[in-house]
Amino acid sequence: MKKYSLVLAAVLLSLSISSASAKRHNYNAQYQQQSGADHNNGNNGGYNNPGIIPAPSVNVPRPEVISPELKGQALFDALHEYTFSHTAVGYGAAKTLLPTKVDAEEKDGKSGVTCHYSQVFIPCSGKDCVERGDENGDGKPNDFVNVEHTWPQSFFNKSEPMRSDMHHLLLTLSVPNGRRGHMPFSTVAPGNKVDYATDSGSKLSGSNFEPCDASKGNIARALLYFAVTYTGNSVHSGEFNSNGFWDSKVEMLLEWNRQDPPDAQEKRRNEVIASYQGKRNPFIDDPSLADKIGLEVWKKMQ
């Protein structure tokens, strides 16, 4: 009886919201409905079962909804239509999948991950990945790897499915992750006092955190994906409003997307994430989509 009530409530909520918004899909309704279905059929892929890794399907095709003629708002809307309906794996599963499947690499006979911000290979034992000494040169030895939300999770109150969407999650050592905090990404002007840095070139100056060059494109494509997917879902709560975190920064992100194109590792992780979530990050498949949408449309994202 309780399960039936939950599903009925989710369906009614979904109906009321879908009639109010034709273009922007709202996850509060969509996601509750999906979770209810998982709860009933015992599917372990639902977020009600954190920590359980769903079996991946293979070869998720590129979206057919993206025709070469699309640009501007029409392209933004088509990409939103494609990405919004992915499968959420749940945060417990995401934290396990990232180091063991999505970003897992073999180097010199060891399995591990290459961290963003630091760009060093950190060996892992299962999902536990620990720095040997101070490999990233930030002055803090034996740091551990954790999950960075490129779009800070405080901005959406740690809600699902945003929290566990692996297309915007990166593995980093905990210290640079903490120094970035929930600040917008920035550049640090030459000559400015640097408060914190890694050997790879990531640096903090006051409230400006600039990631190393090798991470810039990955971060840009993660944020562009997040903006397209979660537009209309109240993801700007907290200290930084839409202008502070997004509108004033998106021109820089478009530049980073051009400067640091997807490499083999980023393309591979897109495939692996798609095998779990059912949808790809289209900006990794085709980085030129970002400029085809155009700065003015990007700035309108709410």
Per-residue DSSP letter, 210: E
Minimum CB–partner distance for residue 200 and Ca ion (Å): 11
d(CA 223, CA 77): 16
- Does the protein bind Ca ion through residue 260 (CB under 5 A)? yes
> What is the chain's Cα-based Rg?
19
Q: Which residue number, 53 or 120, has a Cβ lying nearer to Ca ion? A: 120
Are 89 and 278 within 8 A, CB to CB? Answer: no
d(CA 221, CA 226): 8
- Does the protein bind Ca ion through residue 213 (CB under 5 A)? no
Minimum CB–partner distance for residue 270 and Ca ion (Å): 12
Minimum CB–partner distance for residue 262 and Ca ion (Å): 7
Pairing, β 208-210 against β 203-205: antiparallel
By rule CB under 5 A, what string of x and - marks binding of each residue 159-188 to Ca ion? ------------------------------
Tell me, rounded to whole angstroms, the distance of Cα 220 from its chain centroid: 10
- Does the protein bind Ca ion through residue 258 (CB under 5 A)? no
Per-residue DSSP letter, 144: B
Are 129 and 65 within 8 A, CB to CB? Answer: no
Segment near Ca ion (CB under 5 A), from 9-17, 220-228, 260-268, 279-287? 260-268
Q: Which residue number, 117 or 156, has a Cβ lying nearer to Ca ion? A: 117
Are 129 and 171 within 8 A, CB to CB? Answer: yes
Site for Ca ion in 98-137 (CB under 5 A): 134, 136
Select from 152, 217, 282, 287 the one that contacts Ca ion (CB under 5 A). 217
Site for Ca ion in 130-149 (CB under 5 A): 134, 136, 138, 140, 143
Which positions lie near Ca ion, rule CB under 5 A?
A: 134, 136, 138, 140, 143, 214, 217-218, 260
